[in-house]
Structures are given as structure tokens and as C-alpha cells.
Amino acid sequence: MPMRKEVKHPRDANQLGKFIVDVATGEQEATYEVGLVNEFARAGGLKGGRVRSERLSLEQRKEIAKRAAKARWQKIDDWAVINYGLNS
């Protein structure tokens, strides 16, 4: 991915307002620098869940799924208690 020149945003409120209008009307392009760290983090994030699931055993995945389901149902139970006074 090519590096882009970073646009410095003005600190003055009036200049910032003009900058926003210029970007909105297309008179100036709002580009940001994409660093190597950001690209590395994105690449790791894209493959992270898949790789983690491949490394976990079947029992570990089952335990994680059970905890997740319990947390989801707990939220529903808490919501019912708060809104309707229902206890499960």
C-alpha cells in the first residue's frame, strides 16, 4: 500500500471549519498516512480468529462456546429483571 502524505489539520477553529468545507466540496483531499504498524495490525486481525480456532482443541472450543452462550443468556435475564421484574 503506498504511503500518503499526511494532511495537517488546522488548530484554529475558523481554519478547521474552512478545511472541513474544502474537503466536503472536493477542493482539498483529506488523506492520512498509513503506517507499517497499522498494516501489520490489520493483517493480524484478519487472520487472528481463524488461526486461534485452529490451535484450540475441541474441548477448549466447547468451553469457550458455553461461556459465550451463558454470557448472552445472562444479558437477556438481566434485561428481563430490569424491564419487567421477572426472575428466571
The sign of the CA dihedral 20, 24, 28, 34 is: positive
The domain limits of the chain are 1-55, 57-88
CA-atom Rg of the chain in angstroms:
24
DSSP state for residue 78 in the 8-state scheme = H
Q: What is the pTM of this model?
A: 0.39
pLDDT at 2: 54
- Full pLDDT tens readout for the chain, 88 residues: 455 555 566 778 888 888 888 888 888 776 655 566 677 777 777 888 888 888 999 999 999 999 999 888 887 777 777 777 766 5
